[in-house]
Chains A and B, each alone.
Chain A
Amino acid sequence: DVVMTQSPLSLPVTLGQPASISCRSSQSLVHSDGDTYLNWFQQRPGQSPRRLIYKVSNRDSGVPDRFSGSGSGTDFTLKISRVEAEDVGVYYCMQATHWPPITFGQGTRLEIK
């Protein structure tokens, strides 16, 4: 199984400042079709998860452009250029390249300082 490791697990950020979350996989997430199936999700308190980014760097519809995804192979990053109050929650990476099973990272809790 592919193990997804996120860091940090807790991320206090000042409003208006940038934030960055790392996600590393135990093996390359490049699929045989050439795509990399690494997605990012946001879960606000009391809500269902919401996908933000798919295939490393593609923003989902309605996702603010302050969110961006990057990376390749085994190392990936979610960046928020300027954190807003509505960004509080837990962020998860997920790989859907080598499955079953589909696997998630442990989650990174973003809070406002």
Chain B
Amino acid sequence: EVQLVESGGGLVQPEGSLRLSCAASEFTFSSSYWMSWVRQAPGKGLEWVANINEDGSEKYYVDSVKGRFTISRDNAKNSLYLQMNSLRDEDTAVYYCARGEAADYWGQGTLVTVSS
């Protein structure tokens, strides 16, 4: 069965940086799927953050993270990443990776807390 496992979350101060990872398995990560990051602030709904195409040549972001977050992937390692810089309080959320722009499979999420 498709597995997505996020890691890298934690407590970080405002203006700090964090890199999230998502390890994918049990599907052909490299050739067939866009990948997405979606976040959920505590007690709130789902918000799409970014996605990336199969070979990493196309990347899209929600306006609130443009210029601060970078999505990337390493197909040789079946891994998706989210580099988050200049973090703000409002970036506090559980971050999920999901397969495809239609999000047919999700990971368990990793919690990012931005606080001084």
Report whether A104 and B96 are in contact in the complex, using a CB–CB cutoff of 8 Å.
no
Interface size on A, residues (CB 8 A): 23
Chain B 73-116 residues near chain A, CB threshold 8 A: 96, 101-109
Report whether B48 and A102 are in contact in the complex, using a CB–CB cutoff of 8 Å.
yes
Query: Given the interface contacts A39-B103, A60-B104, A94-B103, does A49 sit within 8 Å of B96 by beta carbon?
Result: yes
Give the residue of A49, A90, A106 whose beta carbon is less than 8 angstroms from that of B103: A49
Contacts of A76 in B (CB 8 A): none
Contacts of A103 in B (CB 8 A): 48
Contacts of B104 in A (CB 8 A): 51, 54, 60
User: In the complex, how many angstroms separate the beta carbon of A30 from the nearest chain B beta carbon?
Assistant: 16
A96 at the interface (CB under 8 A from B): yes
Report whether A99 and B96 are in contact in the complex, using a CB–CB cutoff of 8 Å.
no
The 5 closest A-B pairs by CB, nearest first: A100-B60, A102-B48, A48-B106, A107-B45, A104-B46
Residues of A within 8 A of B (CB): 37, 39, 41, 43, 48-51, 54, 60, 90, 92, 94, 96, 99-107
30 contacts between A and B (CB under 8 A): A39-B103, A48-B96, A48-B107, A48-B108, A48-B109, A49-B46, A49-B96, A50-B106, A51-B103, A51-B105, A54-B102, A60-B104, A92-B45, A92-B46, A94-B48, A94-B103, A96-B101, A96-B102, A99-B48, A100-B48, A100-B51, A100-B61, A101-B48, A101-B60, A102-B36, A102-B101, A104-B45, A104-B46, A105-B45, A107-B45
